[in-house]
């Protein structure tokens, strides 16, 4: 979210009265640019065009297509999504949160609640994104470590080196070639596969 410019907020609702309640609740939200759409059709493409910072979705009761649309948006362009629904089952609320919805509000649409809900949804989204980035980094680091360990194992087996000697060889080769140890390890594994053929 870019704090140097006003928020761009997209309201998706086919019901003009409900959308007006959300707009009224956002009226005191600085210089926010508020846009409206009536339908969820071709949503990902429209989100890519509009580039909203936050998305409000108002529906009577979310169906599987609506939730799948939210998942598609979250996969392609993660951003806070606030969903107001008239009625819902617990399983749909859980599914909505898994689809990337930051706030799922059942039968609670009132203009005075819009701003506090928006503030909490943005904070929750930021916390979730940070956790997701940390998890992705941890997975990437683990995968990298496994590749280096495998390359060391190959060197230890083929050249009868100790673990420390194998690591030093990888490190020195990386420095000499101006590459990362991971690149050298990955290349070594690829060549080993090719030779085993």
What are 107-119's pLDDT values in tens digits? 878 888 888 899 9
Domain coordinates in residue numbering, the chain = 8-109, 136-196
Contact assessment for residue 71 and residue 48, using Cβ atoms and an 8 Å cutoff: no
Average pLDDT, the chain: 88
**Alpha carbon of residue 148 to chain centroid:** 28
What does the alpha-carbon distance between residue 18 and residue 50 come to, in Å, rounded to a whole number?
21
Residue 180: both structure tokens together: 């990362």
**Residues in contact with 70: Cβ distance below 8 Å, sequence separation at least 6, in sequence order:** 57, 81, 83, 96, 99, 100, 101
Contact assessment for residue 92 and residue 62, using Cβ atoms and an 8 Å cutoff: yes
Of 53, 93, 94, the C-alpha closest to 73 is 53
The CATH superfamily assigned to 8-109 is: Response regulator (3.40.50.2300)
Mapping DSSP to helix (H, G, I), strand (E, B) and coil, where does residue 83 land? Answer: strand
DSSP sequence for 1-60: --TTS--EEEEE-S-HHHHHHHHHHHTTSTT-EEEEES--TTHHHHHHHH--SEEEEEES
Pick the CATH number of 136-196 from 3.30.70.20, 1.10.3720.10, 1.10.10.10, 3.40.720.10: 1.10.10.10
Tens of pLDDT along 100-157? 899 888 887 888 888 889 999 999 999 989 998 999 999 999 999 999 999 999 999 9
What pTM does this model have?
A: 0.70
């Amino acid at each position: 979210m870019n704090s140097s410019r006003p928020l761009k907020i997209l309201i998706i609702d086919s019901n003009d009265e409900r959308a007006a309640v959300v707009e009224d609740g956002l009226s005191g939200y600085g210089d926010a640019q508020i846009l409206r759409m009536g339908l969820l059709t071709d949503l990902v493409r429209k989100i890519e065009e509009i580039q909203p910072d936050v998305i409000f979705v108002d529906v009577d009761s979310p169906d599987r297509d609506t939730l799948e649309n939210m998942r598609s948006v979250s996969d392609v362009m993660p951003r806070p999504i606030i969903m107001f629904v008239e009625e819902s089952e617990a399983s749909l609320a859980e599914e909505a949160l898994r689809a990337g919805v930051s706030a799922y509000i059942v039968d609670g649409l009132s203009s005075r609640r819009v701003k506090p809900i928006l503030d909490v949804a943005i904070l929750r989204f930021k916390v979730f994104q940070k956790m997701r980035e940390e998890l992705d980094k941890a997975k990437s680091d683990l995968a990298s470590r496994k590749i280096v360990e495998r390359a060391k194992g190959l060197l230890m087996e083929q050249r009868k080196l100790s673990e420390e000697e194998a690591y030093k060889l990888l490190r020195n080769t990386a420095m000499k070639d101006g590459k990362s140890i991971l690149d050298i390890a990955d290349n070594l594994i690829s060549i080993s596969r090719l030779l085993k053929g």
